[in-house]
Amino acid sequence: NGMQDMKAAMDAAQSLLNIDRFVVVGLCSGGHYGLTAAAVDPRLVGVMMFETYGFASSSTLRMRQIRQMLALPFNRSLQFKAWKALRQRLRPRQPSPFATSSPESVERRFREDMSAVAQRGMPTCMLYSGSVHMVDSGHDQLAGFDGEPFMRGLEYHFDTRLDHNLTTLESQEIFITLARDWVQRTAVGADPSPANVPALQATAARDGRGAPSVETQRRAPSSAFGALG
């Protein structure tokens, strides 16, 4: 299991290299394991989650559906997903014993784990691409959590130049820059290199349709944030 693998890797690094502080950069389900481990393992001092949790508002979900419908004739990935959904509807299968958790239980676990790491002053970062979430109205991939204390120490990035699988070289370079500079600032305490600062700022970069292509929100860190350096 992912949690056991992560613990084994940290144990090995601690034993062989005398390293006792770790940062997790988790893609998709890797972010789930990273956050869950960080809630209970004091060796973890930061977690970046890419495309891991999404609690979009109803308005954003409707806009996403509209965009998907408009893109359907030209997007093979969407066509495959639509066909798969239709086939499952026509030929319903028995529920799998390995079915994912309910949305309510996922939300509850997310709130519990985020609250636990926030109490330790641990830096956290949520990063989203434009290929899965497509639109982001006011950072609402975390809709409904604005009043939670853990949101005060959270960094939030939405970038339409990224895709979920980091397929293109541009997408890979942007992701590596974001992850590397975030780790430097949170775990090492170093400032990002000047050449990479634009990737971390809410710049005026625009895509071909004239819409903002990068949206970044850096919430005020807690007092324990700097102490990690």
Q: Provide the sign of the torsion angle of the four alpha carbons 63, 76, 205, 186, taken in this order.
A: positive
Angle formed by the axes of helices 29-38 and 2-17, nearest 10°: 60
The two beta strands, 124-129 and 154-159, are: parallel
Partners of 26 in beta bridges = 49
What are the pLDDT digits (tens) for 109-125?
999 999 999 999 999 99
Count of C-beta atoms within a 10 Å radius of residue 180: 15
User: Residue 209: what pLDDT?
Assistant: 33
Partners of 48 in beta bridges = 25, 125
What are the pLDDT digits (tens) for 139-187?
778 878 888 999 988 998 888 888 888 988 999 999 999 999 999 888 7
Contact 13, 5 (CB under 8 A): no
Contact 110, 53 (CB under 8 A): yes
Partners of 44 in beta bridges = 22
User: Residue 196: what pLDDT?
Assistant: 43
Cα→Cα distances 164→35, 50, 53, 65, Å: 19, 8, 13, 17
User: Residue 47: what pLDDT?
Assistant: 95
Q: Provide the sign of the torsion angle of the four alpha carbons 31, 33, 34, 38, taken in this order.
A: positive
Which residues of the chain have a pLDDT value below 70?
57, 60-61, 64, 67-68, 75-78, 92-100, 132-135, 137-138, 188-229
